[in-house]
Amino acid sequence: MSPAQERISDAVAARRAGHSLDGPFYTDRDFFDFDIEAVFARQWIFVAVEADLPEPGDRTTVEFGPYSVIVLRDDDEGLRAFHNVCRHRGARLLDPGQASGGNLVCGYHKWTYATDGSLLHAPSQAADFDRSCFVLKPVHVRGVGGLVFICLAERPPADFDEVASRIEPYLLPHDLRRTRVAARTELVEDGNWKLVMENNRECYHCDGHPELLRTFFPTYGYTEADVPARLRPAHERYLRADAEMRATYTGLGLPYGLIEELAERPTGFRIQRDALDLAGESFTPDGTAACRRRLGDLPTPRLGHLSLHMQPNAWFHVVGDHAITFSVLPLTPDKTLLRTTWLVHPEAEEGVDYDRDTLLKVWTATNEQDARLVARAQQGVGGPAYEPGPYAPGEYQVEAFCAWYLARLSEELQR
Amino acid sequence: MSPAQERISDAVAARRAGHSLDGPFYTDRDFFDFDIEAVFARQWIFVAVEADLPEPGDRTTVEFGPYSVIVLRDDDEGLRAFHNVCRHRGARLLDPGQASGGNLVCGYHKWTYATDGSLLHAPSQAADFDRSCFVLKPVHVRGVGGLVFICLAERPPADFDEVASRIEPYLLPHDLRRTRVAARTELVEDGNWKLVMENNRECYHCDGHPELLRTFFPTYGYTEADVPARLRPAHERYLRADAEMRATYTGLGLPYGLIEELAERPTGFRIQRDALDLAGESFTPDGTAACRRRLGDLPTPRLGHLSLHMQPNAWFHVVGDHAITFSVLPLTPDKTLLRTTWLVHPEAEEGVDYDRDTLLKVWTATNEQDARLVARAQQGVGGPAYEPGPYAPGEYQVEAFCAWYLARLSEELQR
Amino acid sequence: MSPAQERISDAVAARRAGHSLDGPFYTDRDFFDFDIEAVFARQWIFVAVEADLPEPGDRTTVEFGPYSVIVLRDDDEGLRAFHNVCRHRGARLLDPGQASGGNLVCGYHKWTYATDGSLLHAPSQAADFDRSCFVLKPVHVRGVGGLVFICLAERPPADFDEVASRIEPYLLPHDLRRTRVAARTELVEDGNWKLVMENNRECYHCDGHPELLRTFFPTYGYTEADVPARLRPAHERYLRADAEMRATYTGLGLPYGLIEELAERPTGFRIQRDALDLAGESFTPDGTAACRRRLGDLPTPRLGHLSLHMQPNAWFHVVGDHAITFSVLPLTPDKTLLRTTWLVHPEAEEGVDYDRDTLLKVWTATNEQDARLVARAQQGVGGPAYEPGPYAPGEYQVEAFCAWYLARLSEELQR
């Protein structure tokens, strides 16, 4: 073990269960680099939606830690991913962002790659130059119900197939592959990627989200017995809405039961279909749909929301009229990119079928509120006076995330 | 000893007395971190004035190195200080700056602390949760004649009581507790905190301060024999003014003698009441008072200035009509915050009793001039071509500061 | 060896000939610091032109890595160079940039140095203060045909005299000492200094330089046999122009033969007089001179260009009507300053004899295009997915640069 790994190993061993992680996990450069190695270069991570790449030749890039990866639709309409580095002298092939086109041509010396990564042309080489030795380095990629995941590891976690088979039945009725990207925001948060994930794993802080709490029940994460008195009225509404939703889901044949396997497997996840408050259709001030066209052309807008968490870096909400995907991409120990994407029916027209501001309002506000909380947490845990504190029962998913994360570090330390 | 401590120890041992410190003391991250540990987390440091906190619930924060500390007036009108970190998941409790209010409520999950630091309320906890285990971490705090000092160490330096007892008689006649903050500036200087302190410990460079030199005698730091010919006229004026002032001080019962114990004790300090040039009342172009109301309602405006230096991080000037406090707060190896505060009589009205620009002009200009000098010094000592050079006799206080500082490092290295 | 030196030594040993360097050479702080030590503090580096310092007292500064150096014309009209650090407390003496003046006076405490570096005056010193111990630290400096080089090493590379004697005959006919600085640009490139140099050592990427390729033959670096079919017409033009130029050079007694000793000596260099396309006079859209006055008052404007490369940090182009010098100054592992200077006849008047935009256009555009390529290369080589790739035959000078550079590191590692 390197000295850095010894420090990490000691910190993993010293962690007190049920308490927030120690400061270096959030602030130390060595810990961050190890996170990339042990988590982001090992696990399947969510990076795009198939709607980003509708046509052959469509491409997008994703950047995290020291990596830049090209995700593209190849000439055979399959998904492909490659490291975004020319095999000649290492120049970046594509600028960040989305584009369309044919072959991938390096801007430096015009080395030209096909969409399958093969090197088609390298000008002016010596006679013994073998193009087949210089294909773009491939990255594993796969779509799951319209969501695109990549894995940098040579051998990806073996349990992803099973997880995919369990979440796809929840996703398929919404036909996310047949959607259009209505909007995307990129928010750089001033905090470690784990603080961004932990923030999302509990609603203990939801009082800070007035827009979200119009429709999102604030009792999320509470057990029946723990619901505090001030939340009892909301809880009563929840019980009624929940009963109604279950009947709707059953009638439509939509799977809805909670599966929560956050800490016990490499590909930790949680999925559940759940009621929303007020009109119960969407994340809007009155709970009515933001878009007239429904995803998957389902027969009713009142579907609550399908909520999916995927470790290490994503969460998703699907309502009757749109879907929102959230991708968490670590930049530095204290900077994280949150990329949020709104998907609507492919034929939904802005200004006709939906108002863009209404569609984006709740989660844009919620993201910004969360970013402020994450920044405050980063500031505090960065100082010597910080000492890990205890999670409340309603933060059990944060604890599960931490346990999952530490298991990944332990695995990597034992390689 | 860690490798970093060994390097520091070697550098302390290699230091040549009477010469400026070697480059790494000003530029190296390890040295900076050790400065925080050995000096700023051990000594009493000046951070605020009581006039910042006139009412119960008033609070301010101070940031230096990796620390953020809350200083507040508690419900019993006492001073309190706490680390600015929630005991739950470590979020920063207060934003930088001053505020008023009641309990301290964390913005993340509403953990609520009383002004004595006790945890009043943490929502939705398990049955066995013991609030008394999660009080805010206290920091030592005390007022001395209206000046507020904190100490992060568990056991603060033992000699501070004695120092306080010796400087208070000089301060009390000016009644700084009964003042109002007329203005505050925050200047981030591009230099190590020691360069900021060293700059202030000599007037060898005062030719660069034309505004200050209207009233501040440029012979500061010279012995009688060393006064250069060009400064003889100023020195003659000084001798006359000094004789007059001594008579005034004696008549009013104001202590005025020089006490200079910069290097010989943990709480190094220097205090002296001294004449000013021209009208001799204040730091203004003609030396007349900038404010009509006098601090402590003393019977004459012509009092010269009370000059106080406190190691590691502060200096003070009190004239008849106002007081100026300077607090030096290290941010990074090459960035330092200088926080300057102007205090006036509590009933002095801006625009009526004083003109704000006149009040601030001299020390604002002087601070900016010094910041430019500090930046040039930082640039030079950061390169391999820098070699410590000799202090002139007029820089003896800089040498005393360095000796004091190195003694603190040695003490810490021996812990 | 320190651990850093061991890593560098391993990387030097592991380098595969004919391939681009491994990532850490371009991105790692330790490697960068060692580059400064082994290359920029050992070799003669190009920093200015004599035209920057026409009069006694003229001075300029040059900054690279942690160094700042003053280059000046002393009172006896000789060149001098000094470390830009006061011998008192280390303050920077001169601000970056050019100035004129007499003695060098430190802005902090008025220590005053003559243009020969001797300390003339230090105010208020003790009786035993010996001024002769505090002269400015000298740096080797010399002019070669109007170009100014400095060397920080105590003992500069022994072969520079010989190199100077071989390049001066090429330079002297253009009388660069008798020129005027028409313009200077400073471009901070987002890449390691070696990427800037490597980019300049080949024309394999020249398709990205449409302005330059109006007159610069794109077959630069190709052997006769390797010229690709698409470049055959240009090559035919080149052969005709080359034959004509050789006759011109012979007639005028101008040395023109290629000397290429890039890798085989400490002061690696390459010099050649070569034809330009179209009118063949200058780097302009139609190849005609940009300035009516010719350098050295040579009898014809149609002289092609004199091309000089000097390792580690410079290249030069001299055409009949002007000269352009390029100085590469490392700032950080991923930032490099490119300082470009345009020289014209001392009596050439802007707006009369030349149009400034026309004069600057080609190389300004070319520099900016190269900066974008360098930035893409830096991005790519900074990630774990980068693997050194093979140089094409036309990149043989890049390989020579790398071999030269690695030899310098090896030498330094063996000291």
Distance from CA of B105 to the nearest CA of C (A): 43
pLDDT surpassing 90 at residue C349:
yes
Binning pLDDT at 50, 70 and 90, where does residue B339 land? very high
How much is the pLDDT for B59?
Answer: 98
pLDDT at C225 over 90: no
Residues in chain C closer than 8 A to B389 (CB atoms) = 86-90, 134
pLDDT of residue B285: 93
- Whether the CB of B20 is below 8 Å from some CB of chain C: the reply is yes
Q: What percent of chain A has pLDDT over 70?
A: 100
**Domain range list for chain C:** 45-143, 160-413
Size of interface A-B (CB pairs under 8 A): 82
pLDDT of residue C223: 85
- Would you state the pLDDT for residue B223? 85
> For residue C228, what pLDDT is reported?
87
Nearest CA in chain C to B19: C89
The mean pLDDT of chain A is: 97
Interchain contact B396–C (C-beta under 8 A): no
| pLDDT of C297 over the 90 cut | no
- Report the pLDDT value the prediction gives residue A183, as an integer from 0 to 100: 98
Shortest Cα distance, chain A CAs vs residue C105, angstroms = 43
Distance CA B118, CA B131 (A): 8
Q: ipTM higher than 0.90?
A: yes
Mean pLDDT, range B72-93, rounded to an integer: 97
> Do C66 and B382 lie within an 8 Å CB cutoff?
yes
- Interface contact C222, partner A, CB < 8 A: yes
pLDDT (tens digit per residue) in B100-127: 999 999 999 999 999 999 999 999 898 8
Q: Do C385 and A85 touch (CB under 8 A)?
A: yes
Question: Are B123 and A392 in contact (CB < 8 Å)?
Answer: yes
- Predicted confidence at residue A3, as pLDDT, reads 94
The reply to whether residue B125 touches residue A388, judged by beta carbons under 8 angstroms, is no
Q: What is the pLDDT of residue A28?
A: 98
Query: Between residues 57 and 96 of chain A, which touch chain B (CB distance below 8 Å)?
Result: none
Per-residue confidence (pLDDT) for residue C78, from 0 to 100: 97
- Give per-residue pLDDT as tens, C102-155: 999 999 999 999 999 999 999 989 889 999 999 999 999 999 999 999 999 999
Q: How many CB pairs under 8 A join B and C?
A: 84
**B391: chain C residues, CB-CB within 8 Å:** 89
The string of pLDDT tens digits covering residues B60-74 is 999 999 999 999 999
Q: At what angle do helices A396-413 and A193-200 cross, to 10 degrees?
A: 140
Chains that touch B (3 or more CB pairs under 8 A): A, C
Give percent above pLDDT 90 in chain B: 95
Of A222, A379, A389, the CB nearest to B87: A389
Contacts of C371 in chain A (CB under 8 A): none
Test the C interface: residue of A89, A108, A119 with most C CBs within 10 Å: A89
User: Which of chain B's residues have a Cβ under 8 Å away from the Cβ of C67?
Assistant: 383-385
Per-residue pLDDT at A269 exceeds 90: yes
The pTM assigned to this predicted structure is 0.96
Which residues of chain A does B134 touch, with a Cβ-Cβ cutoff of 8 Å? 389
The predicted structure's pLDDT at residue A322? 98
Residue B221 pLDDT grade (very low, low, confident, very high; cuts 50, 70, 90)? confident
Sign of CA dihedral A97, A101, A103, A106: negative
Q: Tell whether A382 is within 8 A of chain B (Cβ).
A: yes
CA B319 to chain centre: 17
Nearest CA to CA, how far is A227 from chain B (Å)?
Answer: 8
Give the residue-averaged pLDDT of C374-390. 97
Per-residue pLDDT of A332-353, as tens digits, reads: 999 999 999 999 999 999 999 9
pLDDT more than 90, % of chain C: 95
Q: Nearest to residue C392, comparing CAs of C203, C213, C194?
A: C203
pLDDT of amino acid A23: 98
* B66, B90, B126 ranked by CB distance to A389: nearest: B90
A207 touches chain B (CB under 8 A): yes
Q: Which CATH architecture has domain A45-143?
A: 3-layer Sandwich (2.102)
Identify the band that residue A221 occupies on the pLDDT scale cut at 50, 70 and 90. confident
For residues B328 and A398, what is the distance between their CA atoms, to the nearest angstrom?
Answer: 40
Provide the pLDDT confidence category of residue A220 given band limits of 50, 70 and 90: confident
Residues of A in contact with B151 (CB under 8 A): none
- Answer whether residue C33 shows pLDDT above 90: yes
Minimum Cα–Cα distance from C373: chain A residue: A108
Residue of C386, C390, C391 with shortest CB distance to A85: C386
Angle between helices C396-413 and C193-200 (to 10 degrees): 140
The amino acid at residue B355 is D
Q: What mean pLDDT is predicted for residues A360-387?
A: 98
pLDDT greater than 90 at residue B89: yes
CA distance C138 to chain B (A): 10
- Answer whether residue B253 shows pLDDT above 90: yes
Q: Is the pLDDT of residue C26 over 90?
A: yes
Over residues A6-22, mean pLDDT = 98
Q: What average pLDDT is seen over chain B? A: 97
**Does residue A369 register a pLDDT over 90?**
yes
Answer whether C131 touches B (CB < 8 Å): no
Q: Do A89 and C389 touch (CB under 8 A)?
A: yes
How far apart, in whole angstroms, are the C-alpha atoms of residue C334 and residue A240?
60
Which pLDDT belongs to residue C221?
82
Is any Cβ of chain C less than 8 angstroms from the Cβ of A136?
no
Any chains having at least 3 CB pairs less than 8 A from chain C are: A, B
> How much is the pLDDT for B228?
87
Q: Which residue of A has its CA nearest to C221?
A: A124
Predicted confidence band of residue A228 (pLDDT cuts 50, 70, 90): confident
**What does the pLDDT average to over B168-186?**
98
- Residue B30: predicted pLDDT: 98
Pick the CATH number of A160-413 from 3.90.380.10, 3.30.460.80, 2.60.260.20, 3.40.50.300: 3.90.380.10
* B415 to chain A, closest Cα gap in Å: 19
> Mean pLDDT over residues A30-49, rounded?
98
Residue A93 Cα, gap to closest chain C Cα (Å): 8
B18: contact with C, CB 8 A cutoff = no
pLDDT for residue C226: 83
| Interface residue of B195, B209, B386 to substitute, partner C, most C CBs within 10 Å | B386
Q: Does the beta carbon of A385 lie under 8 angstroms from any beta carbon of chain B?
A: yes
- Model confidence band, residue A396 (pLDDT cutoffs 50, 70, 90): very high
Secondary structure of chain C in HEC code, one letter for each residue: CCHHHHHHHHHHHHCCCCECCCCHHHHCHHHHHHHHHHHHCCCCEEEEEHHHCCCCCCEEEEEECCEEEEEEECCCCCEEEEECECCCCCCECCCCCCECCCCEECCCCCCEECCCCCEEECCCCCCCCCHHHHCCCECEEEEECCEEEEECCCCCCCCHHHHHHHHHHHHHHHCCCCCEEEEEEEEEECCCHHHHHHHHCCCCCHHHCCCHHHCCCCCCCCCHHHCCHHHHHHHHHHHHHHHHHHHHHHHHCCCCCCEEECCCCCCCEEEEEECCCCCCCCCCCCCCCCECCCHHHCCCCCCCEEEEEECCCEEEEECCCCEEEEEEEEEECCEEEEEEEEEECCCCCECCCECHHHHHHHHHHHHHHHHHHHHHHHHHHCCCCCCCCECCHHHHHHHHHHHHHHHHHHHHHCC
Q: Is pLDDT above 90 for C25?
A: yes
Q: What integer best gives the mean pLDDT of chain C?
A: 97
The pLDDT score that the predictor gives to residue C236 is 95
User: Which residue in chain A is spatially nearest to B82 when comparing CA positions?
Assistant: A385
B44 lies within 8 A of chain C by CB: no
Are B310 and B197 in contact, with CB atoms under 8 Å apart? no
Q: Does C388 touch chain A (CB under 8 A)?
A: yes
Q: Which two tokens stand for residue A262?
A: 């956050």
B389 touching chain C per CB within 8 A: yes
